[in-house]
A and B are shown apart, each in its own frame.
Chain A
Amino acid sequence: MKIEDKKRVLREMVLHRRFEERCYQAYIERKIGGFLHLYPGQEACCNGVMEAARPGHDYVITGYRDHVHAIKCGADPKAVMAELYGKETGSSKGRGGSMHIFDGDKRFMGGYALVGGPFPLAAGIAKAIQLKGGDEIAICFLGDAANNQGVFHETLNMAALWKLPVLFVCENNLYGIGTSIERSTAVVHQHKRVAAYNIPADECDGQDIEIVYEAARKAVDHVRSGNGPYFLELMTYRYRGHSMSDSRGYRSREEEELWKQRDPIFILRDRLIKDGAMTMADFETLEKETDAYIENEVIKFSEESPEPRVEDLEKYVFADRETQLPWLTGKAA
């Protein structure tokens, strides 16, 4: 990665980290309801892959741990936070919530809450790309535990069979809620499960963004060149509990500390400092600026935005009636 890109991505990753930490705080303050799945610890995964892809051009889909993926694709952090606040200005107009962030314009095709649900949707997006003949690819980010769903295998089979332009990124954080991967899955290294479908697969460290980036470049090139699907497994760790009501009794504090020593942001920061591209003081300033932006713009916007109107409760269930009348009434012109 070029030095300028590394500095930009560090800035983005700090935003992603601080954004998520601020969500945590807002949740404690009861500004955010429902389930809230946070991303700290895994930032190099999404960032490394998307640096190798084309955010806003390639189609991205993921699960419920979706804020950072949306922002990385180009969604406005203000709209994402407003969505968590349930406001009309939210990315899904307050109808979706934390697990259902969407930004159609930026080709972020959404967060979905059924574990494994996005697998076939991603392949379908790739099918549409194939039919239309574009150079986009579909990228599906999901967790390790999602691979125990039947649709994982169904989708790999179809994607390989029809050579669909889809990249599956497995963020292997070693847990599905409170069940460690050894206790749920016969094979810890997920890329091995893909071999049966004749899909090239790779595994790498998910904490060092440059390693992720190099592996992702290979993956993205493969898919974009029309060679069909690819599976990339990134070994990573989530610092916080699965969602908000998780006291992490299923793992040790020592294990957590070990992973925190390989923090994706600090790895990149220390490398930039070592290379003389920035100082520790620069980094501290960056953190302060990021916090100020989140507070003065993101939170302020979310606080001040209006609630959806109750009269609009049933809006968006179906397509706008007026536009569908020929088919609903049979009175086609």
Chain B
Amino acid sequence: MANIMYWEAIQRAHDEEMARDPLVICMGEDIGVAGGTYKATKGLYEKYGPLRVMDTPISEGGFTGLGIGASFLGVRPIIEIMSVNFAWLAMDQMFNSAAKVRYMSGGQLTAPCVFRSAGGAAHQLGAQHSARMEKVFMGIAGLRVVTPSNPKQAYGLLKSAIRCDDPVFINEHELMYNMKGEVPDGEYFHPLEGSEVARSGTDVTLFGYNISVHWCLKAAEILDKQYGISAEVIDLYSLAPLDREGIKKSVSKTHRAVIAEEDEAPVGVGSEVIAIINEECFFELDAAPVRVHSALVPQPYNHTLEKAAIPDHEDVVKAVLKLFGKA
């Protein structure tokens, strides 16, 4: 096990896959000569050259479509979109071309491409650089969506996404690229489907994904030490499809659920998980599930306002205490 950073894990997955298969390429703004905004493609340009490590013009719709077109012929492009906020410009090609081509060609064409993008609110980047957009991607037929919460997942999910014949969107987080964690020394493929028990518990399930897994883990620690509440934390690293079985299993054990998301609440992971709980195990519930989410505002610049808009572990603790009638 190596203890490496999130960005290093992503870089390693790129490197291994590009060394293995000459049809694996990567493309995006500043990923080559400059080494990548978050260093996720560092050193690849020098190693694989400009034909396979493509510094693209600032044309998100254009280069995303170009990558998708190449994938029709078996090329496996890893398309980096610098910030998820810019992905709106690429969505026509992602959704209308990549996600639908297999279906509308009756299975003849596939688009085995990977889209990677940094999402999430960082520090005071303002309304147009702070969006959380997983809700937009997770409702598209034909598109898989995964979101790594640690370096091991960042490495293993990218490896699997490159190999998978379906288009996969990988939602990363601007604040997590320097996070350290254990990554297996040998080749490792993280499942693109399912969920993970990040901490086992008996009294309440805290559902999180990407950065909110860390809020949940921290909240579980506090709940245990200060309140004697045993919280289970489920890491929903796959947002599409969501793990119905995993959700049901945990809620059937704890009978209570809190869903923590950095995204705004309407139409998102929280509402979807609650719908699944209703459909799969409603009668297991001892209390109505609760969502912890950000405020429905364009992200403010002001530091205090920004903090007020985005939830954290304390909000998760509060939600649980309320659920237990202790707040």
* Interface residues of A, Cβ cutoff 8 Å to B: 59, 61, 90-97, 100, 102-104, 109-110, 112-114, 117, 119-132, 150-151, 154-155, 157-158, 161-162, 315-319, 323-324, 326-332
Are A330 and B189 in contact, with the CB atoms below 8 A?
Answer: yes
Chain A residues positioned under 8 Å from B70 (CB to CB): 124-125, 127-128, 131
Complex Cα gap A328–B68 (Å): 21
Complex Cα gap A120–B75 (Å): 15
Complex Cα gap A155–B161 (Å): 26
Are A103 and B108 in contact, with the CB atoms below 8 A?
Answer: yes
B325 within 8 A of A: no
Known contacts A112-B97, A158-B63, A327-B189; A128/B75 CB under 8 A: yes
Known contacts A124-B69, A129-B73, A324-B164; A330/B190 CB under 8 A: yes
Shortest beta-carbon distance, A140 to chain B, in Å? 10
Complex Cα gap A45–B69 (Å): 24
Chain A residue at smallest Cβ distance from B71: A124
Q: A151-B65, A324-B165 are in contact. List 10 more A-B contacts (CB 8 A).
A: A96-B106, A120-B65, A121-B97, A125-B69, A128-B75, A158-B56, A327-B189, A329-B194, A330-B156, A332-B187
Are A120 and B108 in contact, with the CB atoms below 8 A?
Answer: no
Chain A residue at smallest Cβ distance from B112: A319
Shortest beta-carbon distance, B57 to chain A, in Å? 6
Chain B residue at smallest Cβ distance from A91: B106
A-B contact pairs, 21 of them (CB 8 A): A91-B106, A92-B104, A95-B103, A96-B104, A119-B62, A121-B66, A121-B69, A122-B69, A123-B65, A124-B71, A125-B73, A128-B71, A131-B22, A131-B25, A132-B23, A315-B107, A318-B102, A318-B142, A323-B165, A327-B163, A331-B191
Complex Cα gap A120–B94 (Å): 12
Known contacts A123-B69, A317-B103, A319-B110; A161/B192 CB under 8 A: no
Chain B residues positioned under 8 Å from A132 (CB to CB): 23, 73
Complex Cα gap A1–B70 (Å): 33
Chain B residue at smallest Cβ distance from A156: B62
Question: Which 7 A-B residue pairs are closest in the complex by CB-CB distance?
Answer: A124-B69, A120-B65, A154-B62, A93-B106, A330-B191, A121-B69, A128-B73
Chain A residues positioned under 8 Å from B52 (CB to CB): 131
B96 within 8 A of A: yes
Are B105 and A100 in contact, with the CB atoms below 8 A?
Answer: yes
Shortest beta-carbon distance, A198 to chain B, in Å? 14
Complex Cα gap A124–B144 (Å): 21
Shortest beta-carbon distance, B246 to chain A, in Å? 13
Shortest beta-carbon distance, A320 to chain B, in Å? 8
Chain B residues positioned under 8 Å from A92 (CB to CB): 104-106, 108
Chain A residues positioned under 8 Å from B51 (CB to CB): 130-131
* Interface flags, B1-39, vs A, CB<8A=1, else 0: 000000000000000000000110100000000000000
Of B52, B73, B110, most buried by chain A (CB within 10 Å of CB) is B73
Are B66 and A117 in contact, with the CB atoms below 8 A?
Answer: no
* Interface flags, B185-198, vs A, CB<8A=1, else 0: 00101111110000
Are B164 and A327 in contact, with the CB atoms below 8 A?
Answer: yes
Chain B residues positioned under 8 Å from A328 (CB to CB): 160, 164, 191-193
A122, A127, A316: the one within 8 Å of B106 (CB)? A316
Shortest beta-carbon distance, B237 to chain A, in Å? 11
Chain A residue at smallest Cβ distance from B105: A102
Are B160 and A330 in contact, with the CB atoms below 8 A?
Answer: yes
Known contacts A96-B104, A110-B109, A114-B96; A317/B142 CB under 8 A: yes
* Interface flags, B153-174, vs A, CB<8A=1, else 0: 0001000110111100000000
Are A110 and B105 in contact, with the CB atoms below 8 A?
Answer: yes
B72 within 8 A of A: yes
Complex Cα gap A47–B145 (Å): 42
Complex Cα gap A155–B60 (Å): 11
Are B107 and A150 in contact, with the CB atoms below 8 A?
Answer: no
Shortest beta-carbon distance, B154 to chain A, in Å? 14
B62, B144, B161, B166: the one within 8 Å of A120 (CB)? B62
Chain B residues positioned under 8 Å from A162 (CB to CB): 54
Within B41-64, which residues are at the interface with A (CB < 8 Å)? 51-52, 54, 56-57, 59, 61-64
Are A121 and B65 in contact, with the CB atoms below 8 A?
Answer: yes
Within B86-114, which residues are at the interface with A (CB < 8 Å)? 92-93, 96-97, 101-110
Complex Cα gap A311–B230 (Å): 44
Complex Cα gap A331–B191 (Å): 8
A91, A128, A158, A319: the one within 8 Å of B62 (CB)? A158
B74 within 8 A of A: yes
Shortest beta-carbon distance, B61 to chain A, in Å? 5
